[in-house]
Amino acid sequence: MSFENILLEKKNGIAYVTVNRPKVLNALNMATMEDLRAGFHDIKNHAAIRVVILTGAGEKAFIAGADIGELAKNDAVAAKEYTHRGQNVLNLIENLGKPVIACINGFALGGGCEIALACTMRLASENAKFGQPEVKLGIIPGYGGTQRLPRLVGKGIAMQMVLAGETITAQEAHRIGLVNEVTVTAELIPRAEAIAAKIIANAPLAVQYAMEAVNRGMEMTLSEGLYLEAVLFAVACATEDKKEGTTAFLEKRAAVFKGK
């Protein structure tokens, strides 16, 4: 499968997705969003892929935001379609059933920050910058920024970022819980690969169910979330992987999981 605006490579159980428009700081246009949709659907259906690493080409930007030239042409009807299509892609990333690690190198602004928010976890290089500057253009975040950001960092901090439109550093993003870790640029992908290797060593269905419990549970009351957790725990206990995992532990050997 070939794409115009992204690169997709698969090796050792990892899919590497790179937004590849460095001349425009990897800005998101609809063609790029369509490439991401197709690429992540391909990954979702590829059983051998266990983890995704998502990044941007070059060292200046992860994704610097939307393609403003394209956005400026939208009327209300087109803008609604534009937003829904983008939200659907981010929902696909968030609920892929496989962890997606964002490796944020440089600017992650607007839609770029929103794509990072949809990922399972976020690693940032020391030069990364984050922001939701849409109010400076007379609009608001449209790819989930008003919803995922407060859920991640809290309402007050999210309001400050969205209303002031300020750009924050990687270090500040780490302090407020927007990113998991900050590292030097050269170690960004290797660090993601190290985390991916630990995930790949675990039972595939258990990883999938754990992600579902967290993602769905965030939208529920505590009692509803606990019920969901109990149901998914029971389902996990019916898998071959559970039998293999517990047997391997008791026999003091490494487990060999099959995702069944």
Judgement on whether residues 196 and 209 belong to the same structural domain of the protein: no
Range of the domain at 139: 6-200
Report yes or no on 239 lying in a domain: yes
CATH number of the structural domain spanning residue 244? 1.10.12.10
Judgement on whether residues 196 and 208 belong to the same structural domain of the protein: no
Structure tokens at 108: 């992650």
Report yes or no on 100 lying in a domain: yes
Residue 115's pLDDT band (cuts 50, 70, 90): very high
Report yes or no on 255 lying in a domain: no
Q: What pLDDT was estimated at residue 62?
A: 94
Q: How big is the CA angle at 208 (ends 108 and 50), to the nearest 5 degrees? A: 65
Judgement on whether residues 51 and 121 belong to the same structural domain of the protein: yes
Query: What is the overall mean pLDDT for the chain?
Result: 94
Report yes or no on 258 lying in a domain: no
Q: How many domains does the chain have?
A: 2
Three-state SS letters, 22-55: HHHCCCECHHHHHHHHHHHHHHHCCCCCCEEEEE
Q: What is the full DSSP assignment across 144-163?
A: SHHHHHHHHH-HHHHHHHHH
Residue 202's pLDDT band (cuts 50, 70, 90): very high
Residues catalogued as catalytic: 114, 134
Residue 152's pLDDT band (cuts 50, 70, 90): very high
Judgement on whether residues 155 and 177 belong to the same structural domain of the protein: yes
The distance of Cα 242 from the centroid of its chain, to the nearest Å, equals: 27
- Flag the least confident range among 84-88, 119-123, 143-147, 161-165: 84-88
For the cut 80, the answer to whether the pLDDT of residue 145 exceeds it is yes
The values of phi and psi at residue 63, to 5°, are -150, 120
Residue 243's pLDDT band (cuts 50, 70, 90): very high
Query: Considering 178, 200, 222, which residue would you say is the last residue of a domain?
Result: 200
Percent share of the chain, pLDDT over 90: 85
Q: What pLDDT was estimated at residue 71?
A: 75
Burial (Cβ within 10 Å: 0-12, 13-18, ≥19) of residue 118: buried
Report yes or no on 1 lying in a domain: no
Average pLDDT over residues 198-214: 96
The residue type of 52 is: V
CATH number of the structural domain spanning residue 10? 3.90.226.10
Tell me the pTM: 0.94
Average pLDDT over residues 168-185: 97
**Nearest residue to 64 via CA among 100, 106, 92:** 106
| SS3 state at 202 | coil
Report yes or no on 24 lying in a domain: yes
Judgement on whether residues 196 and 153 belong to the same structural domain of the protein: yes
First to last CA, the chain: 28
Q: What pLDDT was estimated at residue 74?
A: 77
Judgement on whether residues 57 and 176 belong to the same structural domain of the protein: yes
Judgement on whether residues 189 and 208 belong to the same structural domain of the protein: no
Judgement on whether residues 182 and 215 belong to the same structural domain of the protein: no
Q: What pLDDT was estimated at residue 227?
A: 97
Give how far Cα 238 sits from Cα of 86, 151, 209, Å.
37, 32, 12
For the cut 80, the answer to whether the pLDDT of residue 135 exceeds it is yes
Average pLDDT over residues 150-163: 97
Judgement on whether residues 196 and 100 belong to the same structural domain of the protein: yes
Q: Is the dihedral of CA 81, 86, 90, 92 positive or negative?
A: positive
Judgement on whether residues 156 and 240 belong to the same structural domain of the protein: no
Report yes or no on 49 lying in a domain: yes
For the cut 90, the answer to whether the pLDDT of residue 153 exceeds it is yes
User: Of all helices (H) and strands (E), which one includes residue 233?
Assistant: helix 222-237
- List, for residues 218-236, the tens digit of each pLDDT value: 999 999 999 999 999 999 9
Q: What pLDDT was estimated at residue 91?
A: 95
Q: What pLDDT was estimated at residue 116?
A: 97
Report yes or no on 63 lying in a domain: yes
Judgement on whether residues 158 and 216 belong to the same structural domain of the protein: no
Judgement on whether residues 67 and 185 belong to the same structural domain of the protein: yes
Percent share of the chain, pLDDT over 70: 100
